Amino acid sequence: MSEVPATLPDLLTGLATTRAIRRLALDPIPDDDLSAILWHATRAPSGTNRQPVRYVVLRDDERGRDAKDVLGRGFRDGWKAKSESAGYGQGSALDPNSRKGRQRAAMEYFVEHFEQFPAVVLVCLVRYRDPNPFEGASVYPACQNLLLAARALGYGGVLTGWHGPVETELRELLGLPDGVAIHATIPLGRPLGHHGPVRRLPLNEVVFDGAWGESATWARDPDGTEFAGPPPTP
């Protein structure tokens, strides 16, 4: 295993500081570290312990490079559409010091370097019943475990869904059988920036006591919490 951070974050610190990291270093991830990240992902809860999640890890071999090339095209197309629809080509997005400008720069780095990221994990579900809106409950806890484990070992990543437009080509290339769904694409690497703290809405705006809209007076943010709301409507 490569050098582990001198101080591993405790669980609550990890939960409060694990950010979506899109500016990833291009250095390889040692096998032992990648194995540890995936092992912790498999510890996630699984209904009736069915364990239907599978992980296809794309690295720097011929098939991995080919698959990342396919994904890179899909991600650039996805960003182009989002950039146009969400106004990333105008206004505050053109100011590199603004929140939106920083987001734009991170996204442009992300899609321009996607093929060079050291590992990309396709998180898949082996379906055991007809597709339904709730099947992600069998997958996304594992995705969060994966990202938390990466955070603990000094890595970062981001859960994405932009494999969709190129999924048909990707499935053929990787030999994914019918009945296996790709639910997430997670690139991993060393952060070029840093994790946390994560900014969210105030707790009393999202927690209700017993019924919708009933204020939970006991729900208080820790001292020093910084806040951020959702992005403005374009």
pTM: 0.92
Residue 1: is its pLDDT beyond 50?
no
C-alpha pair distances (Å), 136 with each of 66, 104, 162, 184: 27, 28, 16, 10
3-state secondary structure of 200: strand
DSSP H or E segment with residue 170: helix 167-174
C-alpha pair distances (Å), 156 with each of 21, 85, 151, 165, 169: 5, 27, 6, 24, 27
Residue in the block written with tokens 């250095």? 27
Instruction: Determine the angle formed by the axes of helices 167-174 and 62-85, rounding to 10 degrees.
Output: 170
pLDDT digits 0-9 by tens, 36-90: 999 999 999 999 999 999 999 999 999 999 999 999 999 999 999 999 999 998 8
> Distance between CA atoms of 104 and 154, rounded to whole angstroms?
24
pLDDT digits 0-9 by tens, 2-34: 455 657 789 999 999 999 999 999 999 999 999
% of the chain beyond a pLDDT of 70: 96
The token pair that represents 229 in the structure block: 């709301």
196 neighbors 171 (Cβ within 8 angstroms): no
Q: Which of 183, 198, 191, 184 is nearest to 228 (CA)?
A: 198
Q: Which of 178, 142, 199, 209 is nearest to 20 (CA)?
A: 199
DSSP H or E segment with residue 69: helix 62-85
Q: Which of 121, 141, 124 is nearest to 183 (CA)?
A: 124
C-alpha pair distances (Å), 111 with each of 8, 72, 78, 181, 189: 30, 7, 9, 23, 14
Cα 175 versus chain centre, distance: 24
Q: In this predicted model, which residue has the larger pLDDT, 233 or 148?
A: 148
First to last CA, the chain: 45
Other CB atoms within 10 Å distance of the CB of residue 197: 12
Cα 131 versus chain centre, distance: 22
Average pLDDT estimate for 176-188: 97
pLDDT digits 0-9 by tens, 115-160: 999 999 999 999 999 999 999 999 999 999 999 999 999 999 999 9
**How confident is the model at residue 146, as a pLDDT?**
98
**How confident is the model at residue 97, as a pLDDT?**
86
